């Protein structure tokens, strides 16, 4: 494994662009998942997973909204799933 400078980007934009487009970043992430052996994954998979993990740990929805870059709170709510662990944790807070 080569040494990497902290200021060196993990993913580099090719050509004259200074930033990824939404499409080029989605393609780059899909290729990373495929190289790691994950199938049926997309850039959305990681986004949904990280948002769900934050919610499961009790992070407030407004913080999640800021983290994920969603402008509308309703957009964040679409990512959140109530699972048995979350319900159990909520009941334990009451007891």
Let me know the angle formed at the C-alpha of 42 by 41 and 44, rounded to the nearest 5 degrees. 120
Residue 48 confidence (pLDDT): 84
Residue 24 confidence (pLDDT): 80
d(CA 54, CA 51): 5
Answer whether residue 22 is part of any domain: yes
Together in a domain, 36 and 57: no
Range of the domain at 65: 50-94
Together in a domain, 64 and 84: yes
Please state the three-class secondary structure of 30-90 as a single string.
Answer: HHHHHHCCCCCCCHHHHHHHHHHHHHHCCCCHHHHHHHHCCCCHHHHHCCCCCCHHHHHHH
Together in a domain, 37 and 18: yes
Answer whether residue 5 is part of any domain: no
Residue 10 confidence (pLDDT): 65
Is pTM beyond 0.75? Reply is: no
Together in a domain, 37 and 62: no
pLDDT tens for 24-37 read 878 888 888 888 99
Q: State the total domains in the chain.
A: 2
Answer whether residue 2 is part of any domain: no
pLDDT tens for 49-82 read 888 888 888 888 999 999 888 899 988 888 777 7
């Amino acid at each position: 494994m080569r040494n990497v400078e902290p200021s060196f980007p993990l993913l580099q934009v090719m050509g004259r662009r200074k930033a990824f487009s939404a499409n080029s970043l989605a393609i780059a992430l899909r290729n990373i998942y495929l190289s790691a052996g994950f199938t049926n994954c997309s850039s959305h998979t990681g986004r949904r997973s990280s948002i769900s993990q934050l919610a499961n740990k009790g992070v407030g929805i407004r913080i999640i909204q800021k983290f994920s870059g969603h402008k509308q709170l309703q957009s964040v709510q679409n990512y959140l799933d109530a699972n048995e662990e979350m319900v159990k944790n909520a009941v334990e807070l009451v007891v």
